[in-house]
Structure 1
Amino acid sequence: MTAHAARRAALLAQMAPGGVAVLATAPEVTRNSDCDYPYRHDSYFYYLSGFGEPESVLVLVAGGARGPARSILFCREKNSERKIWDGFRHGPDAARLACGVDAAFAIDELDAQMGKLLADAPALYYAHGGSAELDARVKLWLGDVKRQARSGVTAPAVVHNVLGLLDEMRLFKDDGEQATMRRACAISGQAHARAMRATRPGMREYAIEAELLYEFRRNGAQFPAYSPIVAAGANACVLHYHANNALVRDGELVLIDAGCELDGYAADITRTYPANGRFSAPQRQLYELVLAAQAAALDAVRPGQRYQAIHAAALAVLAQGMLDLGLLDRDKAGNADDVIANQSYLQFYMHGTGHWLGMDVHDVGAYRETAREGKPWRPLQPGMTLTVEPGLYVRPAAGVPEAFWHTGIRIEDDVLVTADGHAVLSGEAPKSVAAIEQLMQENA
């Protein structure tokens, strides 16, 4: 719990003296009838508490005239009846010790306690607008405090969105977070390798997905970090394909975008490979182009480099390759600079080259320096983690060589910015043509 306590202290240091922050975890969600979806905590709440039970709220009170800084957890009471049905509950006393907070109360006491905690507090910090239920409760709490005005009690004069402070904190991963993400990437890389070994023409996409999910859980991951994409042939040209039920045919490529979640942290890896274990010549040409684009983008990942430079590096390679392979007509499209300036590349490459990665697969943090004039792209700094994922998606179209039709390729790795450059966390997933073909031929 040392890391969580340090994060709480870092947030408290940014708050106004005597200010109060409130963070609620995610609610349980009904799937159907009396069945819930598998429970997953709120990332912000867990980042500060390490507590995974539902119906929980963390309150932080910054030090000031009203006393020293405090952290207070509200959670479910112990319940012997529910323990029989649902399993262990900490209860306030055990939760206080487990989380290292100063005090803990039953969640049923939240409303009564908040009226006291907010009295004379100069500022309130919470995720306003994020939850209608929390917004309503905050309104009630503030109303209770305002009704004490005749007694000289004041309500917070300012309400801040606490997520802005936490987003900037979460953008930089400490050593423990980095270690967890490395393990999540290792498990996910092994799952991609397993899927490649298992793939045969004539399978269904969901059978390949099952190999991924088995490897995730077998190695201790709690969930997939997001719904896996297993897309064969033309399905790979659908960026967020989700059906995963088509037949995998001989001669097609298979695109898998999948990563596990381990102890609250996500991996996000994409690999593309031939169903029969051998790239055709046209497939190899496109694949090598995307691989070269990713190599150029990875070279741009280093401290001080602006975030957008990663995308620009990949795009320069892809634009030239689109011309060289005849995807774009030189007479109409011009040179690579023209392709970029006129956005002709969007026909085949319509997404960015990456995103932040962490507790959420599309993690929090600003991509631009919003406080500076012109809002320039922010420079990379050690401790940031991101994906690097160029792609090409070739649909049938006039003027496009038919040999490339129905081909979708994306290559995605998870990357940590280090003091002297970067480290690829997802190297266990085979990526080169030679490595992929060798792996698949070993099991042919």
Structure 2
Amino acid sequence: MEQLWTQTKLILEKTVSPGLFHLWIKPLTAQVAGETLELTAPNAFVAAWVNERLLDAIAEAAASVMGKRPKVAVVAADARPGPHPHEKDRGPKAPVTIVPLGLPPAMPLRTVAEDRFRFSFDDFVVGPSNELAYVASKGICERTLASEQLFITSAPGLGKTHLLQAIGQQLCLGGGKARPRVVYLTAEEFAGRLIMAIKARDVERFKTSFRESVDVLLLEDIHFFRDKPRIQAELLNTLKALRSRGCRLVFTSSFLPKELSGVDDQLASRFCSGFLAGIEPPDLPTRKRILERKAAVHQVLLPENVSDLLAEHLRADIRQIESCIQNLALKARLLNRGISLEMAWEVLGNYKLENPTLTLDDIVDYVCDVYRISPELLSSKSRKREHVLARNTAFLLARRHTELSLQDIGQRFNRRHSTVVKGITTLERHLSLETPLGRQIEKTMERLAP
């Protein structure tokens, strides 16, 4: 049993973000009861959080180890009844329920080491579309940037996370000097820690841990803070305290600060107070160099004509390029054949081939076809899950493939600008965490044909 859970955790460590893994999954213990994987969390709050957000990811990881998908149940350690001295005479056990008992003190804030970061500056391919963000990221590390704060913005899959982790890795390496205390969190993880501290009535220790024990704060996906006033207030005070100590701050978001509706004006102003660098989709020469770099990483020999073909057609984002390389390599190995132009065309058939003239009407037609709904339903007031999912998919595709503003996209679907932001943010979260829904959305987006 211990080996099974250890192997499952190894898979989860690679498939969820480092912060989510260390905060929510690492503290769990496990046992198998029939076809159920029963997880024990240290307290009721952690149990409820895992049960609500990570159950599918855990079940899929366990399935790859156990050979079939188990049922997953999460219980709290402090809700388990202790053994009764005459338990054998008491008949079958009653089901264990999660009881919201008192919480232990909040988990301490931990700085991270360089081995926690998967990406470095050395493996980042620089081109005209991302050069400013790259130079600024290096500058924040070397203190050559005329600001102690950096805001990196781009559409999904263009390198924000890569640069943020590269900053963390370089700072942790230290370069012979005293290493700064680096904290790397997603906005959701920051919020989770604060909520845990509130429930544990330990907010003061939360404040102290962030405001006095951090030299560099790397905060990802700050658009998650929208419409969360209590968390925004604490974040604003934390940022003020860190800046007063001369700490460095780096934020990433899929939206510009001015597009973040539902964010307090003071906090939005704080986000804007440093250097802002955007990343655009890579041009053809940069895409080709990215392809060559990814092919080398995956030990794939790409003929020149295949490299040219893929670079010409894979324009959406870098994740798509890497996925195509992996699938091409796997197909060649399974068939025991060399990679050819014909094979590349076959693999490209599984992906969205970018069309520079893609319009919002094209996107609406595609989404309606995929989700089997009418354009009228897509723009209706319906809150059915499948209709909301289709609408959010249209928001994300319009954001990625058109030059329309968020307000223009909202008007097309009879929605407010803030609703568009919320829909895009929801899907991006599933994409970044690679949840089952995230993988479904990724496949839906890949199939969008010109």
Asked if these proteins are the same fold (TM beyond 0.5), I'd say no
Structure showing greater Rg: 1
TM-score by length of 1: 0.24
Structure with the bigger percentage of helix: 2
TM-score by length of 2: 0.24
Structure with the bigger percentage of strand: 1
